[in-house]
Amino acid sequence: KQEVTQIPAALSVPEGENLVLNCSFTDSAIYNLQWFRQDPGKGLTSLLLIQSSQREQTSGRLNASLDKSSGRSTLYIAASQPGDSATYLCAVMTSGTYKYIFGTGTRLKVLA
């Protein structure tokens, strides 16, 4: 059974720092992994989708990497801003299921 873990659960950093959020999963047989952002009380916004054949995806200040064999993904945020404050979720689609399994998220606060 696929399990997704995100560490740390919460993170507080000063503005301008580069930071890394971690996601690990127990079953490496996946189709893809998706990173989302969720603002308090709101829905999810898709940030990056990495297919199983890809190693990384980039969008602006965000870079997500995928190491399937070790069951890990990282989301790198460069030059963090207060507007980046949100909860970041990773979700894994395990092969043969077509269902996303979500982690519990990392709650990020960027201080001005």
List of residues contacting other proteins (CB under 8 A): 4, 31-32, 34, 36, 41-46, 49, 51, 89, 91, 93, 95, 98-105
Q: Are 51 and 73 in contact (CB under 8 A)?
A: no
Cβ proximity of 111 and 15 under 8 Å: yes
How near is the Cβ of 1 to other proteins at its closest, in Å?
13
Nearest-Å Rg of the Cα atoms of the chain is 13
Distance between CA atoms of 12 and 48, rounded to whole angstroms? Answer: 22
Nearer residue to other proteins within complex by CB, 17 or 109: 109
Q: From the CB of 80, what's the least distance to other proteins, in Å?
A: 23
Least distance between other proteins and beta carbon 111 (Å) = 24
